Amino acid sequence: MQLLDGKKIAGAIKLEIREEVQKIKEHGGEIPHLATVLVGHDGGSETYVAYKIKDCEEVGFKSSLIRYEDDVTEVQLLNKIKELNADHDLHGFIVQLPLPEHISEQKIIEAIDPKKDVDGFHATNVGRMVIGLPTFVSATPFGIMELIKRYNIETKGKNCIIVGRSQIVGRPLSILLSQKGVDATVTVAHSRTRNIKELCGSADILIAALGSPGFVSKDMVKEGAVVIDVGTTRVPSKETKSGFRLKGDVLFEEVAPKCSFITPVPGGVGPMTRVSLLSNTLLAAKKKIYS
């Protein structure tokens, strides 16, 4: 069994990005600038945004944080997005999800200029990804594909089961894995899937992305499978200062001995998600997508 060490790979990618930023500086180019719009004080969002700001500092990006309280109106948020779209000093920005119930997340996503949509959620970027055009791929699928690539995991002809059909992870990842050159045979399972235990047990590559702690047990994984755990659910813990810990969708201790490769939680997919956002922002600054 070998760990898919997302923290290690993300660190290597950060060094590569930092070197590119240094070259941009030396040639008098525009330093990549990423902004985050944060609404409210959700604990998970606060932590994630803090990491993003730190990541930007490490690679030499400019970063901006725009805060609103939970009572911000949808119109106010849309006006800010319009302002950010027009800001020529800003190469990419994200609106941190989730948003308060009175704000339509889809309306907010669709208001973002696709050229600055480094989260890769806009319908234009999703559509470009589907037909194989250059685009901003959403960060978690982007990170998972990079992890598979850098560990030289064979995908051609492999049976890949993705548990979870979200628009952020499961659906885009199924398209990326089935594209020419990757060539996996992909099945997307979900809450209505029958015989899910047996289905998972047939997977050469099993990706758990449903947000259900400990869902995947050892009897759902075949010997030698590659297991990628996307789950990062915060569960109460008396053993940590924060009062919580992250738990994945996979029962790591019992599943790991059966695997050829497996991601830990934390330290697996999470760091790859964050570094993929940096990669997209660098692409935006270099205008490699919409040029």
Amino acid identity, position 140 = T
Distances in Å between the Cα of 283 and the Cα atoms of 118, 219, 224 are 9, 42, 36
Contact assessment for residue 209 and residue 176, using Cβ atoms and an 8 Å cutoff: no
Sign, Cα dihedral of 243, 250, 54, 100: negative
Buried b (16+ CB within 10 A) or exposed e, 227-254: bbbbbbbeeeeeeeeeeeebbbbbbbee
Query: Among residues 5, 55, 80, 96, which one is catalytic?
Result: 96
Q: Residues 55, 119, 204, 249: which is the catalytic one?
A: 119
Q: Active site includes 119?
A: yes
Indicate if 179 belongs to the active site: no
H helices within the chain, ranges in order?
6-26, 43-59, 74-85, 105-111, 123-130, 139-150, 170-178, 196-200, 252-255, 269-285
Vertex 148, ends 142 and 149: CA angle to 5°? 85
The C-alpha atoms of residue 269 and residue 6 are separated, in whole angstroms, by 6
Q: Count helices and strands (H / E) in the chain.
A: 10, 11
Q: Are strands 233-236 and 244-247 parallel, antiparallel or unpaired?
A: antiparallel
CA dist., res. 161 & res. 61, Å (int): 36
Q: 14, 52, 158, 247: which one is catalytic? A: 52
113 catalytic, yes or no?
A: no
Beta carbons of 17 and 158 less than 8 angstroms apart: no
Give DSSP secondary structure letters for 14-43. Answer: HHHHHHHHHHHHHTT-PPPEEEEEEES--H
* Catalytic sites, residue numbers: 52, 96, 119
